[in-house]
Structure 1
């Protein structure tokens, strides 16, 4: 197996030897008994003339090809979410073009895709009223439905800024949900992912916020397919799951505890809408196939080594997790470079990337270790690690 030099926490350099990869499938091997979305990243175009911290240049062919990789493995795609640097380098017009292309590609192969509708074209400081927020939501929903897209209703920075009470959240969500064409997935994104969303649902008290969210969701249950919770708190998610109205799904967004939440307990389970499924899609597909066959031990055996990798990728500051997602795609040959919109390839340290390489290897997720080592060497060499 190939070797490469990697930095260690002590400041030394070690010679690291890769392991054999796991024989994960490249295509779905059987039915799933859980709905599973991977929140897919975008592939930047590093050769286009642009200002990388300001402009958005996307390699559309490679971006759609990555979605086809997820679809081949049986996953649906959560499109234009924060994994795709939505609101963190990718603006609304670019997001809509991404949604248009993804929906068209999904239709051509009968694959699943839901797309993020938010208010990010309305700068939070420009929002003066709840009506401003409602109009912003309506504009994005209308545009997505016009291209036959299904909706993930994203949390709104503008709403977090102008709302004065939990009742204000209810007013906005009631109005918006009353108009959607098909049931939506509501996304509750925690402030560890986006600090501008602190105090969402009108309070920093999570218990009180849960009461408000449950009230809004359950009274609009006919317009809500499910709710995705990204708070990295499994006990909170389970408590919320048990309070959801009949027919409303819980989609786990917990990239720390997804295996046990998907497996569930005697009172229910969570479906999945996860950023980490972008990076571990082959393992996720194999595990979900095993779970559907009733082999829960194989499900946990496959996913257990991926959890340390996921916790590493999503460690604080959690909003920089996208760097690790793209590094994984680069190592595995899904894109020819480690370049991101907004220059976010620099958002994680050299040591962080080295530990990511080790953890991905331990999980059997480097599908071609020779290729992964060859791609990693110049990245580390550019950061002072002699090849």
Structure 2
């Protein structure tokens, strides 16, 4: 029995699961019908002087990672057949992890992937440039190429992210086509072109040279058609389920449509008669064995079972990714907390001190949902750690 705090300030008695969920054994072989890229959380070094804020008007100090704990979780993902997509926002990219930190993470993950036979993709951005300084098109191209070289050296598939610097430097759609074309031609393997719309990042307004999303998407498709042999797929978000399905239908044959949808993903991953989407997503982080079982079901044509398994994970992920405004970016707090409860790492310390970014009731609800789902492999360990967390938060049992 455990007393969990509710958002209204009351306590509710909860009786945890007594036995872990029975899941299929880990299988590192690739999924056959879906290209599944999982973004993963990182751990801050609890012995490092990781401070969330620097001097007034200055930049936050570099953050140190707990490398063993961080890499151990990646080995967990690889053991179930997932491709790791590194250097994304789930790993605090641009939110505590600067380009030198991200480059080190990509290099270490590349070495680890080679050692265990894991598959790796990694983000290519321009975040080594000053955020608000004027830049030329040549400087943006050079920044992209520097990061592409690091990703290629790590043996990772490039995920070419949109660049606010590029959006400032361009004169029109033709400049986007030139920069992306140069990068894709230099890539040794087909890349994923990743577009974050202005709904999430206002700096990306008029990206690809057009204000209207459909016009911008047409410009993106033109880039894809000009570089078909070097494009594995496109990833776009956020966008409604209907718009994603519409855009998926407009892609050239053989080009994948990736999604990071956090609320309707069973529909996207399973698909319909017109096709399906491929995951490039953080929703796997807290439910690795269950998600793997769903994708194995898709591989044998059991769409109904796959949909059922994925729908079981919806309440937990919708909670983890809930929030208004900027609070939604703190989903990482919940997934790191659940990783600690699950025994994947022995502490709950995060980059920028984000272990404090979500409320105690929010994390208590995450525990209850994960435990009810059977996503915590050792319920007794999870209960002990949950009680310890509550006690340090002033909630005695």
CA contact (8 A) 2:86 2:106 kept: yes
The structural deviation recorded for 1:347 is 1.8
- Give the TM-score taking structure 2 as reference length: 0.90
Who is 2:351 aligned against?
341
Who is 1:17 aligned against?
15
Who is 1:266 aligned against?
273
Who is 1:207 aligned against?
214
Who is 2:33 aligned against?
33
The structural deviation recorded for 1:232 is 4.9
Task: Say if 2:53 is the partner of 1:46.
Answer: no
The structural deviation recorded for 1:365 is 0.9
Task: Say if 2:321 is the partner of 1:314.
Answer: yes
- Give the TM-score taking structure 1 as reference length: 0.92
Name the CA distance, whole Å, in 2 between partners of 1:46 and 1:321: 20
**What's the secondary structure of 1:48's corresponding residue?**
coil
CA contact (8 A) 1:127 1:133 kept: no
- Partner deviation per Cα, 1:44-79 (whole Å, 9 max, x = no partner): 111123435433111111111111100111111001
Alignment map for 1:213-362 (pairs within 5 Å): 213-316=220-323, 317-362=327-372
Who is 1:118 aligned against?
125
* Aligned residue pair count: 385
**What's the secondary structure of 1:337's corresponding residue?**
coil
Name the CA distance, whole Å, in 2 between partners of 1:171 and 1:301: 44
Name the CA distance, whole Å, in 2 between partners of 1:363 and 1:199: 42
Who is 1:189 aligned against?
196
Instruction: Evaluate the alpha carbon distance shift between residue 195 and residue 58 of structure 1 in structure 2; reply closer, same or farther with a 3 A threshold.
Output: farther
Q: CA RMSD in A?
A: 2.1
Does 194-203 or 281-290 show the bigger shift? 194-203
The structural deviation recorded for 1:384 is 3.2
Does 170-179 or 284-293 show the bigger shift? 170-179
Instruction: Evaluate the alpha carbon distance shift between residue 199 and residue 310 of structure 1 in structure 2; reply closer, same or farther with a 3 A threshold.
Output: farther
The structural deviation recorded for 1:110 is 2.0
- Partner deviation per Cα, 1:302-327 (whole Å, 9 max, x = no partner): 11121121122122332222112211
Task: Say if 2:376 is the partner of 1:366.
Answer: yes
The structural deviation recorded for 1:39 is 0.6
Instruction: Evaluate the alpha carbon distance shift between residue 162 and residue 319 of structure 1 in structure 2; reply closer, same or farther with a 3 A threshold.
Output: farther
In structure 2, list runs of 5 or more residues that go unmatched: 54-60
CA contact (8 A) 2:207 2:216 kept: yes
Instruction: Evaluate the alpha carbon distance shift between residue 191 and residue 13 of structure 1 in structure 2; reply closer, same or farther with a 3 A threshold.
Output: farther
The structural deviation recorded for 1:179 is 2.1
Decide which of 370, 379, 387 is 2:389's aligned counterpart: 379
Name the CA distance, whole Å, in 2 between partners of 1:302 and 1:247: 27
Who is 1:82 aligned against?
89
- Partner deviation per Cα, 1:249-308 (whole Å, 9 max, x = no partner): 112211222211111111111121111112211111011111212222211221112112
The structural deviation recorded for 1:36 is 1.0
Name the CA distance, whole Å, in 2 between partners of 1:164 and 1:325: 41
